[in-house]
């Protein structure tokens, strides 16, 4: 993978996280109610933004 492609994908992930995840109500709620581990797992497995981030991450591999 070219360095520019990798940097573009990383920038895309960064943009998604800054736009959607920074002040996420669901993450804050789950973290408060069930803990950090549950909140993180929810983001990875059930959140649509998490799925987009995972899809971009698979392109990096």
Q: How far is it, in rounded angstroms, from Cα 17 to Cα 49?
A: 8
Q: How far is it, in rounded angstroms, from Cα 51 to Cα 43?
A: 8
- Tell me which residue range forms the domain holding 8: 3-60
pLDDT band at 4 (very low <50, low <70, confident <90, very high): confident
* pLDDT for residue 60: 87
Helix pair angle (48-60, 36-45), 10° resolution: 70
Number of compact structural domains in the chain:
1
- pTM of the predicted model as reported, rounded to 2 decimal places: 0.79
**Segment 9-46, tens digit of pLDDT:** 999 999 999 999 999 999 999 999 999 999 999 999 99
Angle 57-40-33 (CA atoms, 0-180°, nearest 5)? Answer: 160
* pLDDT for residue 3: 82
Alpha-helix runs per DSSP H in the chain: 3-16, 25-34, 36-45, 48-60
């Amino acid at each position: 993978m070219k360095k520019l492609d990798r940097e573009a994908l990383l920038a895309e992930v960064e943009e998604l996280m800054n736009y959607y995840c920074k002040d996420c109500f669901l993450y804050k709620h789950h973290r408060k109610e069930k803990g950090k581990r549950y909140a993180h797992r929810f983001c990875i497995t059930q959140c649509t933004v998490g799925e987009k981030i995972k899809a971009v991450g698979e392109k990096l591999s």
